[in-house]
Structure 1
Amino acid sequence: MDFLDRSIRRARFAYFSMEIALRTEMHTYSGGLGVLAGDSAHSAADLDLPMVFVTLVSRQGYVRQEIDDGHAQVSRPDPWSPQDFATALPQMVAVSIEGRTVWVRPWLHALECPLGQVIPVLLLDTDLGQNAVEDRRITDALYGGDQAYRLKQEIVLGIGGQGVLRVLGFSIEKYHLNEGHAALLTLPVLRATRQLDGDHRSDPTRGYDISAVRERCVFTTHTPVEAGFDKFDYDLVQRVLGDYIERDVLTHLAGADELNMTRLALNLSSYVNGVARRHAETTRKLFPGYTIASITNGVHVHRWTHGAIARLFEQQFSNWAHEPEVLAFADQIEDGALWSAHEIAKSDLLARIAQATGKQLRPDLPLIGYARRMTAYKRPELIFSDMGRLREIAKVQPFQIVLAGLAHPSDGGGQEAIRALGAHIDALAGAIPAAFVPGYNLDVAGALVAGCDVWLNTPLPPLEASGTSGMKAALNGVLNLSALDGWWIEGCADGVTGWSIPTNGADANDAAALYDKLRDVVLPLYHGDRGRWVWMMKQAISKIGPSFNSHRMMRRYVTEAYLR
């Protein structure tokens, strides 16, 4: 396999992520973290970076969403066939789980960019005849099961993944941990530095070369709250991981009371970053004493730009996909051409909505979109806080709403939010056309970020780490209306690239501020000044596109993290 041999010879950096969104048919992602990893991989291929990506095969996927007659999410398995998109490699490595030998085999997916470069993605699999029945299921369900199941998956990802790279012959200089799920990969790197004559009495890590491990690891944290970090009871760790590493070493590096994967990654990485400037500030407060840099997330421009918009970019500057900086000149696009391309994207979205829900939304009314992981801090119901006021606004300045998003099967708040959104849509019948599109995935997300007129985001600050869907919308000239949190603090020029929603953390006040912005600014502009609206569309593309893209992000990772 010439491609793999070439990749092994040249790869210097390995990117580990529990999930990765490479294509819709490969169900190895759940949401933003996986989409970011997928965009990173696509940019790595475009830029011909010497990288390899490592993840789990997740044979049963995350969630195939159905919505029942009561508006509740019905969560189904979402299986896919690795053999349709990847090649099973013959090499295997063994990890010890609960005292049993568990074999891990990689599948190789060759990710090719339009320019011809290819990078390897390794999908780790335990569904092998050599394994016990319960161990064959470890790489089945993305984020499924209990704490023990999650710990087993993270052993396979971190320890198994590091071993797979070694047995394949990769010589990795830097490991990039995309969130704490991959933190256990630091342990085999640590074990390789063990000095038998180390004095453990004053410092349990004395026998290890901690600095050598840190020099090889880069850690990106995405979680802005302590409760969101993966933590495991040490008795569980002892039962599942055994004596792979001394317990006093783990308690020294990962926390005295429980194994905190984020703290382990922090202590064994020389470079740590948040995914937006505000997120890095929040993380520094959570972990005082650590140096936390910031590299704001970006999105892959070619992947998320609608075909009709992309054709305009091609006509204006043919190198836009490889050099997104030239999107700074998108403000020179002719108004009518941009609006016509937007109408095509909107028409495509309306057709998808009609097919999925049976609802015919109107192309002449402004369409407000909200689509993301359904969980409490994102406040998906905020726009419906005062139904009476919402109806009054729509009487004078009509508009439409489209929503989509998945909730984790164990997230009761997210599940209830989906049910409530369906009830709100029913209650607005005859006043405000609205639809919830089921089966949220890459294709649905792509249609939504391209076809809406306004992209709504209402997180409770400072809990939005980044929020990349708004970047994707902006690439297509869709205007953001968002609370000032995550990336939007950096990207918002109010009245130019979109609008901010003043927030103070109280839902009633924040909803009132949202309604005021809709009634007084956003809707009057759409209905009364098309020229200014299109001008703002061009400002959003030309000011956000050149900076908030994954090419810029990956170049920064290489120069600031990998090569330091």
Structure 2
Amino acid sequence: MLDDFIHQPRVAYFSMEIALRNEIPTYSGGLGVLAGDTVRSAADLELPLVAVTLVSRAGYFRQEIDAQGRQVEQPATWEPRDWAQPLDAKIAISIEGRAVWIGAWLYVLEGYLGGRQPVLLLDTDLDENHADDREITHYLYGGDEIYRLKQEIVLGIGGVRMLQALGFEVRQYHMNEGHSALLALELLHRYERTPAFVHPGELPYDIPRVREQCNFTTHTPVEAGHDRFSYALVQRVLDNAVDLATLRRLAGEDSLNMTRLALNLSEYVNGVAKRHAEISNTMFPGYRVHAVTNGVHPLIWTSEPFRRLYDQHLPSWCHEPEQLVRADCCIPDAAFREAHAQAKQALIERVRARTGVSLQPRAPILGFARRMTAYKRADLLFSDLERLKAISRQRPFQVVLAGKAHPHDDGGKRLIEQLHAQARALEGIVPVAYLPGYDMDIAQALVAGVDIWLNTPLRPFEASGTSGMKAAFNGVPSLSVLDGWWIEGCIEGVTGWAIGNAAGAEDGDALALYNKLEQVVLPLYYDGQDDPAGWVKVMKGAISKSASYFNSHRMMRRYATEAYIR
């Protein structure tokens, strides 16, 4: 099967996590889901890619919620043999003085038109390895700093060696976030120059040649969010195999900053939204950071009722999602309402089965689902419970929440517990359901079945965000803080609504949210029950203006023309 993929040069796409399918827990959230959509669109468009990631046998974790609303983490192990093919090649790298052997599994991701993309899942759980080393590729984002560094060595250095061992001809390397930046070090060693051709003060590597082959996508708009490792740790774990003087010049004087390393060794660098690129150019002066705004996969994130609707009226939508720009004039309003009603009923039934909360089909549902951490501000909606109750008494609404907190994020865990307490305080007035075990399957149901997609990050921490894009494919408008992609996507009253403005004060966001909900969004929804044209117009705007552009097919075409072909 591998022979099907090594006959032509490919772009090697490296990502610590990739969401391949719901049954394979090799992802934790947005970064992995984006990576999965990237590979899916590459398959649909038949762009020659090979993805490289870790097998993450123990997954991220399976979330349960106890009676007090506390997150309980359960193992999420999976068996690679059930979904992937073992490959014969093995390569070795040196970690802490030991030879660590790395094997690989081949997962073939198939596009809806028959395109196929290889995904290599790197695995250190081999008989040849020390017991500790066998666990390096077990836990996604698990362990301490040493464990994380070992994982990034396996991904970056091991990934490059594995591609070579398997016979892949790589024309470009694409680093999805800085976790894989050590691949550039491996390329430096591959293109090490002979001392006779090195001038005094020059590094003994062909850096321009490495830069020509590397692309880097950064996803983190704050300096503190980038991976850093002390040089003492790096020298110890990599057995002094790395020239420290070179590392300091390329990755920072004080510590190995993976983002700095990727910036210095990549010819093409991009942020994941226009605003994020602007912030990155400010954070990293002297580098040119382009903007390629993220997108989501059209087929995966469109619910079955809307797939049928688009197939009937815009048959080429799935391969050319830009055709959705015509949705506002080509699809009857009644068909929109019926498709959404089916998706909403499916969500209502799921919520009742999983939580026991009964939601009403006539009342609007607000949806909020993402990683539970402080800057996402899942609690902003619940800042003033009395105001929330007063709004709901006038025009009833319902709320569905979902999301995991990282096992080491105590603040995120407390947030989940707090949300459950607030839900109990609103009982009888505002129905609130929290769906446990957030995964791709739940996300698909949520983005299709709610009426309004809520997003309330603390500016400017949302580099892009993609959940609102997924909602747009299902005719669900966003009510969101102006950050990330929504700065580009928001057309007030057409694709959804803004909470405050792009430079708004943090302490005014809750008031702005309540005012917009009470005075604009809910009145339009309830007016739409008697005269549905107004609400359906916004649903159509979300599709024709947002989904037609914020999709991963457009994103991959941008990468192909701007980064890969040069």
After TM superposition, is the score higher than 0.5? yes
**Among candidates 451, 463, 466, match of residue 465 of structure 1:** 463
Please give the alpha-carbon distance, in whole angstroms, between the structure 2 residues aligned to 1:88 and 1:280.
Answer: 39
Q: CA deviation at 1:200?
A: 7.5
Partner in structure 1 of residue 114 of structure 2: 116
Deviation at 1:539, TM superposition (A): 1.1
The C-alpha deviation readout for 1:295-339, integer Å capped at 9, x for no partner, is 000000100000001100000121111111111111121011110
Distance in 2 (alpha carbons) for counterparts of 1:173 and 1:244? 26
Tell me what 2:301 maps to.
304
- 2:516 aligned partner: 517
Shift of 1:202: 5.2
Contact kept in structure 1, 2:29 and 2:371, CA below 8 Å:
yes
C-alpha displacement of 1:73: 0.7
> Could you tell me which residue of structure 2 aligns to residue 51 of structure 1?
49
Q: 1:537-556 counterparts in 2 under 5 A?
A: 537-556=539-558
Classify 1:515/1:531 alpha carbon distance in 2 versus 1 (closer, same or farther; 3 Å): same
1:294 corresponds to which residue?
A: 291
CA deviations over 1:329-355 (Å, ceiling 9, x no partner): 111210111100100000111111111
* Structure 2 match to 1:269: 266
Tell me the residue number matched to 2:559: 557
Aligned-pair CA distance for 1:244? 2.4
Matched letter for residue 551 of structure 2: N
TM-superposed deviation, 1:195: 1.5
CA distance in 1, matches of 2:411, 2:266: 34
Q: CA deviation at 1:196?
A: 2.9
Distance 2:563 2:196 in 1: 30
Q: Deviations over 1:195-226 (max 9, x none)?
A: 231688953x5211111000000000000001
SS at match of 1:44: helix
- Quote the Cα distance in structure 1 between the aligned partners of 2:241 and 2:108: 33
Structure 2 counterpart of 1:524, one-letter code: P
Q: Find the counterpart in structure 1 of residue 487 from structure 2.
A: 489
Report SS of the residue matched to 1:493.
coil
Superposition deviation, residue 77 in structure 1? 1.8
TM-score of the superposition, structure 1-length normalised?
A: 0.98
Cα deviation, residue 6, structure 1: 2.5
* Counterpart code for 1:547: Y
Of stretches 71-80 and 260-269 in structure 1, the one that deviates more from structure 2 is 71-80
Which digits, 9 at most, give the CA deviation of each residue in 1:24-79, with x for residues without a partner? 00110000000000000000000111110000000000021011111111112211
Task: Indicate the residue corresponding to 1:382 in structure 2.
Answer: 380
- For the residues of structure 2 that align with 1:198 and 1:474, how far apart are their CA atoms? 59
Residue 303 of structure 1: SS of its match in structure 2?
A: coil
Q: Take 1:122 and 1:173, find their aligned partners in 2: how far apart are those partners?
A: 17
| SS of equivalent residue, structure 1 residue 389 | helix
Contact 2:203 2:246 in 1 (8 A): no
* 8 Å Cα contact 1:191/1:245 also seen in 2: no
SS at match of 1:176: strand
CA contact (8 A) 1:16 1:182 kept: yes
Matches within 5 A, 1:527-542: 527-529=526-528, 530-542=532-544
Superposition pairs of residues 352-501 of structure 1, within 5 angstroms: 352-501=350-499
Q: Give unpaired runs (5+ residues) of structure 2.
A: none
1:433-461 Cα shifts (integer Å, max 9, x gaps): 01100000000000000000000000111
Task: Supply the distance in 2 between the matched residues of 1:559 and 1:131 (Cα, whole angstroms).
Answer: 42
Taking the aligned partners of 2:548 and 2:45, their CA distance within structure 1 comes to: 16
Q: CA separation in 1, counterparts of 2:419 and 2:367?
A: 13
- TM-score after normalising by structure 2: 0.98
For 1:157 and 1:169, the matched residues in 2 are separated by 18
Q: How far did 1:192 drift? A: 1.2
When the two chains are superposed, the root-mean-square deviation of aligned CA atoms in Å is 1.1
Length, aligned pairs only: 561
SS of residue matched to 2:155: helix
Q: Could you say which residue in structure 1 is the equivalent of 2:62?
A: 64
Indicate if the aligned counterparts of 1:29 and 1:61 stay in contact, CA closer than 8 A. Answer: yes
Between stretches 470-479 and 71-80, larger displacement belongs to 71-80
In the TM superposition, what is the alpha-carbon distance from 1:508 to its structure 2 partner?
A: 3.7
1:318 is aligned to: 315
Q: Secondary structure at the match of 2:119?
A: strand
Pairwise CA distance, 1:241: 1.1
Q: Deviations over 1:165-211 (max 9, x none)?
A: 000011101000000000000011001111231688953x5211111
Counterpart-to-counterpart distance in 2, 1:547 and 1:62:
31
Residue deviations 1:256-278, cap 9 Å, x none?
Answer: 01000000000000000000000
Aligned to 2:146: 148
**Contact 1:304/1:472 (8 A) holds in 2:** yes
Q: For 1:304, what is the secondary structure of its paired residue?
A: coil
Displacement after TM superposition at 1:115 (Å): 1.1
Uncovered stretches (5+) of structure 1, i.e. residues with no partner: none
Matched with 1:351 is 349
The Cα shift of 1:506 comes to: 4.5
Q: Is the 8 A contact 1:278 1:486 kept in 2?
A: yes
Give the Cα–Cα distance (whole angstroms) in 2 for the partners of residues 506 and 553 of structure 1: 32
CA distance in 1, matches of 2:415, 2:372: 7
